[in-house]
Structures are given as structure tokens and as C-alpha cells.
Amino acid sequence: MFVQDKRKTKGFPVDLTPSTSTGGYPIRVVARLTGIPVDTLRAWERRYQAVEPVRDERGRLYGDSDIRRLKLLRRLVERGHAIGRVARLEEAELGAMAEAALDVGDRNRRADVVDVRVLLDALDAYDLAALERRLGKFAAVLSTRELVHEVVLPFMHQVGEGWQVGRFRVAQEHLAAVAMRDLLGGMVRTHAPRDGRPGIVFATPPGERHELGLNAAAMLAAAGGIPVICLGADLPPDDVVEAARRTGAQAVVLAITMGEGIARTLDAVCHISSSLPEGVPTFAGGAAAESHPDDLRSAGAILVRNFDALEQAYRSLGARY
């Protein structure tokens, strides 16, 4: 038999016992039991499939296993983990994370968790599924900003070095870019602000096909709560300007890594920066950008030499880290 438990919500008693016919709890009872607002529960279910309640003629009904899972998810989210990164983990994994008290601010206790070699091994094997699965595990125990600084940037650096020395082929670099785009998409969905603030347009100029750095720059913006409009690689200048105008973007970020055809690239940068609405800056970074600081300045762009400098620029645009 179930013991009846009644608590008051807005002056009315709420029966916290499950339905006698199905053994399930209605959503408002679940909200009381877990401390998660009803709207949040619906969002977690709809967007992330965090739980899959059964349904009857009266609506959703949640079981005891759903209650346990939701309580674990709430504990992890309160510690700074993104719901989009933990929602689909197995209950055993959630429980282990909760028991280990993995704190996003405690780097020492996670030292053995962050090892990008497992990502490089997956890339060696052309195993996109393993690469994305391992990225997902990192995302489950790190805050978004830490994920960028501790995983994405070191991984990106290793891929670039591996390509230069012949460890990785162009196809593998493209595979890494696919995984980064998927990771970026999850971050954008998870951190998209709802206050209507203007975003940042991300692109590479014509002929620039390397987008790993671009995706990392976009992830860092998303981690700070800035809306991201990531257009990808090899974009015509007019398309970049049009996207910035149509979206009311507050800035444009360009990734420039290739030294070949730098004159054409600088012309594109000049066209973009001079065509943007007044007060909308153009930031540029990457190996080739660092090699031509004076030319970039003449083209109207602001050079960002590293991701720490880029993060400072984002803070000036309202990012919250």
C-alpha cells in the first residue's frame, strides 16, 4: 500500500501518491517530488528525452525510476553541468557522477578524465561514433567553457599538428570538423538565450576551408550566452555582411589560417568590415591572421591572437563566464 502524502501548492492540497490504477505520478506531483518546475520538466522531456513517461487519458505519468533519474539530473545541473549533455546518459553513469561529486570547478579531481588522446585514437580509426561518444562523456563532466578550453582547443591543436606531420589526412580533419559542428549545435541549443540579445556571425573568407578554429570560437561564444550564427567556411563577403545585417549581429568573427592567397583574403576582410553597420566590429584570428597584423588593421579588422583574447572580446559584448 502507498502512504498518502499531501502538501499544499497555492493553497490547494496536492496528492503525492501515484495513481492507483497505473502506479504513475502526474507531472505536477513530479515537480513537487523533484523540485523541478513543470515547464522545465516538459522542456527536458521534449528537447532532450531526459525521461519517457507513459501516457493515459489524463496525460503524462512518471514512474519511480523517472523520479530517481530526474533527481540525479537536477543535482548535476545544479553543479553546472548542461542538461543537454547529461540527459541521455544511463542512470548508472548519472549516479556515479553524483556520487563522485564531480565539481566543474575542481580540476585536480578530474585530471584523469580530460585526456584528448582517446579522441585522437577515434580519429585515427575514422570512428565518428566513438569520437562523438567520447566528446559527450567529456561534456557530461565539464562546464561548456571548460569543455572548450580543456578538450576542444587541445584536440584542435593536436589535429592540426597531426595533419602537418602526416598522421592525419584531410578526410580525418573533415571528420573532426563534423564532430565539432555537432558539438557546437548542442551547445547552441543548450545555451541559446531568450532575451533577444544580438548575436555574433562566424565565418571564414573565400578560399579558407579550415573551420575547426571557427567552431571553437563559436563554442566559446555560446558558453558565454551569446547567440551564435555560424555560417561555416569559404563564405562570399556579401553573404557574411547580409547575415550580419539580417540578424542584427553585434560582431563578426573570421577565422584565417591559410597564408596562401592572403591578398584575396585581406580584400574580403576589408569588404566585410567596411560594409557592416556602424559600430559592428570585425574580429579575426588564426595563424595567417597573426602573421599579418598591420594588414588586418588596415583592412578594418581587430586581431585576436588567442582564445583568451577572444574571450575578453566576448566579455566586452556581454558574455557571462
CATH 3.40.1010.10 fits 6-80, yes or no: no
For 60, list phi and psi in degrees, rounded to 5: -70, 145
- What are the structural domain ranges in the chain? 6-80, 102-183, 192-321
pLDDT in tens, the chain (321 residues): 223 333 333 333 334 444 444 458 899 888 888 888 888 898 899 988 999 999 877 788 999 889 889 988 888 887 667 888 888 888 877 877 765 544 444 444 444 457 899 999 999 999 999 998 888 878 766 777 888 888 999 998 899 889 888 999 999 999 999 999 988 888 887 776 767 789 999 999 999 988 889 999 999 998 888 999 999 999 999 999 999 999 999 999 999 998 788 999 999 999 999 999 999 999 999 999 999 999 999 999 999 999 989 999 999 998 886
Answer whether 0.75 is exceeded by the pTM: no
CATH 3.20.10.10 fits 192-321, yes or no: no
Closest by CA position to 212, among listed 162, 262, 264: 162
CATH number of this structure's domain 102-183: 1.10.1240.10
Q: In Å, how far are 38, 150, 196, 224 from 192, measured between CA atoms?
A: 20, 22, 10, 10
